[in-house]
Amino acid sequence: MRRTLNIAPIAMHTLLCSLLLLAACTSPRTYSTRYYKHNKGTLDSIISSYREITAGKPLSIGFTDPKLTHLSFELFTGELRIIKEFNIADTAAIVNTLHEYHYPVARVAGLLSTMKRIHSHWISTDSYYIPFHDTAYMRGNYTFVSIKPTDFHAPFSNSRYYVLVYMQPGFSRDSLTQPIIQKSGLRQLAPAVFYKVSDRFR
């Protein structure tokens, strides 16, 4: 009697293995490392430019829509946070706002152009606090930039944004900063550069 081989389970197993292999090759850690290395020069330029623009004058910059056509500034004057939103085509309003709050128009324009080119949706600075002695805290600063890469399609992944975190110059990963890193769910890309994957751009 001739036996018929049922190839359906074999085909399903092969397909599943292929999908798992693809997922491993495009896992968040593998992809983020590759993306960071490939775009390191551009990313470093964005961070450097942003830090120079905002030195002593905090400013968050970002796009609030998937097509990067709606721009948002978060400005801080004293204790006040001021939010300004624009259509990217409304250059007059953008320029007037930058002049009003004394930001360099050309440099901000260059930063926005680079952010759009790599599909970066937000850049900002924030602080973290490390317990020091019993009642004292040490403050550290970091700059983060969120990016939505257009070529990342890992199977089974619902995450949408890579958030790259650049610690302040002189940062050291030690027993004091390690709990902050772990609590934030960050993974290391370079001595002072970390990342996490998020479904939010900020």
The shares of helix, strand and coil residues in the chain, as percent rounded to the nearest 5, are 35, 30, 30
Q: What is the pLDDT along the chain (202 residues), one digit of tens a residue?
A: 455 444 455 555 554 444 444 444 456 667 778 888 889 999 999 999 999 999 989 999 999 998 899 999 999 887 889 999 999 999 999 999 999 999 999 999 999 999 999 999 999 999 888 877 666 777 889 999 999 876 655 443 445 788 999 998 888 888 778 888 888 889 999 999 999 988 777 7
Q: Is the dihedral of CA 166, 189, 164, 42 positive or negative?
A: positive
Whole-number pLDDT of residue 156: 37
Rounded to the nearest angstrom, the gap between the alpha carbon of residue 130 and the centroid of all alpha carbons in its chain is 23
Whole-number pLDDT of residue 161: 84
pTM, two decimals, is 0.79
Rounded to the nearest angstrom, the gap between the alpha carbon of residue 158 and the centroid of all alpha carbons in its chain is 16
The phi, psi pair for 96, rounded to 5°, reads -60, -40
Whole-number pLDDT of residue 12: 54
Residue in 25, 31, 24 with CA at minimum distance from that of residue 161: 31
Whole-number pLDDT of residue 185: 87
Q: How many angstroms separate the CA atoms of 130 and 139, rounded? A: 6
Whole-number pLDDT of residue 70: 96
Whole-number pLDDT of residue 19: 41
> Strand pairing partners for 187?
195
Q: How many angstroms separate the CA atoms of 131 and 129, rounded? A: 7
